[in-house]
Amino acid sequence: MERDLQLDNVGRRYGLRGPWVLRGIHLTLTPGTLTRMEGPNGTGKSTLLRILARLDAPSEGKVKGRPRTAYVPERFPSALPFTAAGYLTHLATIHGLTRASAQRAAADTLERFGAAVHAHTPMAQLSKGSSQKVAVAQALLAEPELLVLDEAWTGLDAAARAELERAVAERTAAGGAVVFVDHDPQRLAGATDAVYAVREGRLERRTTPMASDPAAAGPHVVVEAQGPAGGRLPADAHRTATTAEEPEPGAYRLTVPASHSDVLLRTLLSARPPWHVVSVRHETPEGGR
Ligand SMILES: Nc1ncnc2c1ncn2[C@@H]1O[C@H](COP(=O)(O)OP(=O)(O)OP(=O)(O)O)[C@@H](O)[C@H]1O
């Protein structure tokens, strides 16, 4: 499928005789999934992400599939001859929006990440964190089918970090694939569909935190919801929730990673007929953030 991104026996080395950084990599990123890449410094995670984003070509093997892709790099080239709003508006028009819609989308995204005050600041004068917000905004504006995040949370303030987690949840709920590297082991904990470690040039699949043990999976939200008579839990809610119990007919107790609670609530409230949300409780596991 064109929307799947597939690596087929991919290898990468820098220079004709350089050591292999990656070798024999097979990977498929399917729509609607969240994938985490782990590994110590220098093992090849950024190299892998650049290949997935098609910003770099493998030295051997094939990259298949052409999802619409956006990428947030570790270091964003901020010395661009634009203001923050000007840059985002420019990109949004490239994505096909009219100038007025592009200006609105740029302003909304900057607002969302708490960077509206910097809308008219030249990119070269932005602080590292504000520049990172623009990097995130440019990627989200594209509404990508594949979103590649290389330590995209680094430098963001707490509110923007949480907002980016919510944006990831929205992307996967909309059917996009998201792949990320982050040194915080709690990042999107409990929400990942697959975790891989890059080790000695190879990809090793890790087991994800057990759905049955939300405490191992970071901050989460418990939603009690009541369906319409005879109504079944919407399929999207089932997919977003980590656990779904039905203590009484039609009454559900759903557990969801904190980053995904907005998506779950929207799904329940926009169902036809809508579900009644009885309670929403935030829980942070002991020792968690
Ligand atoms: N453009 C390049 N030219 C030559 N070597 C490179 C280049 N980019 C990366 N490398 C080398 O490839 C290896 C993997 O680097 P990469 O940046 O992909 O690792 P990483 O796992 O993302 O590291 P970190 O966790 O520190 O960001 C390293 O040995 C690095 O020196």
Q: Which helix (H) or strand (E) holds 1?
A: none
Q: What radius of gyration, in Å, describes the C-alpha atoms of the chain?
A: 20
Indicate whether residue 177 lines ligand 1 (CB < 6 A): no
Is 75 a pocket residue for ligand 1 (Cβ < 6 Å)?
no
Identify whether 184 is part of a domain: no
The residue whose CA is least distant from atom 27 of ligand 1 is 41
Q: Is residue 219 part of a domain?
A: yes
Q: Average of pLDDT values for 135-158?
A: 94
pLDDT tens digits, 34-89 = 999 999 999 999 999 999 999 999 999 999 999 999 999 988 877 788 999 999 99
Closest CA to 214 of 177, 232, 189, 193: 189
Residue 43 CA: nearest ligand 1 atom is 21
Of 13, 17, 20, 21, which is best to mutate to test ligand 1, by the most ligand atoms within 8 angstroms of its C-beta? 21
Q: How far is the CA of 40 from the centre of ligand 1 (A)?
A: 11
Average pLDDT of the chain? 90
Domain holding 243, by residue range, is 214-283
How far apart are the CA of 47 and the centre of ligand 1, in A? Answer: 6
Q: Is the pLDDT of residue 11 over 50?
A: yes
Would the CB of 21 count as within 6 Å of ligand 1? yes
CATH of the domain at 275: 3.30.70
Mutate which of 45, 71, 154, 183 for ligand 1 pocket (most atoms within 8 A of beta carbon): 45
Q: Is residue 231 part of a domain?
A: yes
Percent of the chain at pLDDT above 90?
76
pLDDT of residue 1 exceeding 70: no
Q: Whose CA is nearest to atom 25 of ligand 1?
A: 41
Query: 62 near 10, Cβ under 8 Å?
Result: yes
Q: Domain count of the chain?
A: 1
What is the per-residue pLDDT for 212? 46
pLDDT of residue 284: 78
The residue whose CA is least distant from atom 24 of ligand 1 is: 41
Q: How far apart are CA 118 and CA 131, in angstroms?
A: 10
What pLDDT sits at residue 190?
Answer: 85
Does residue 173 form part of some domain?
A: no
Least reliable range by pLDDT among 183-187, 194-198, 285-289: 285-289
Structure confidence by residue, pLDDT tens digits, 152-187: 999 999 999 999 999 999 999 999 999 999 999 889
pLDDT of residue 96: 87
Is 160 domain-assigned? no
Mean pLDDT for the stretch of residues 206-226:
72
Domain membership flag for residue 278: yes
Instruction: Give the CA-trace dihedral at 257, 137, 32, 205, to 10 degrees.
Output: -70
How confident is the model at residue 85, as a pLDDT? 96
pTM for the predicted model, two decimal places: 0.89
Sign of the alpha-carbon torsion through 87, 88, 91, 96: negative
Indicate whether 275 belongs to any domain. Answer: yes
Nearest CA to ligand 1 atom 7: 14
Q: Residue 289: pLDDT above 60?
A: no
* Other CB atoms within 10 Å distance of the CB of residue 288: 15
Task: State the Cα–Cα distance between residues 82 and 262, nearest whole angstrom.
Answer: 33
Q: 40: burial class by Cβ within 10 Å (0-12, 13-18, 19+)?
A: exposed
Residue 18 has a pLDDT of 93
Q: Specify if 279 maps to a domain.
A: yes
Residue 216 binned pLDDT confidence (cut-offs 50, 70, 90): low
Highest mean pLDDT among 111-125, 200-214, 223-237 belongs to 111-125
Complex-level ipTM: 0.97
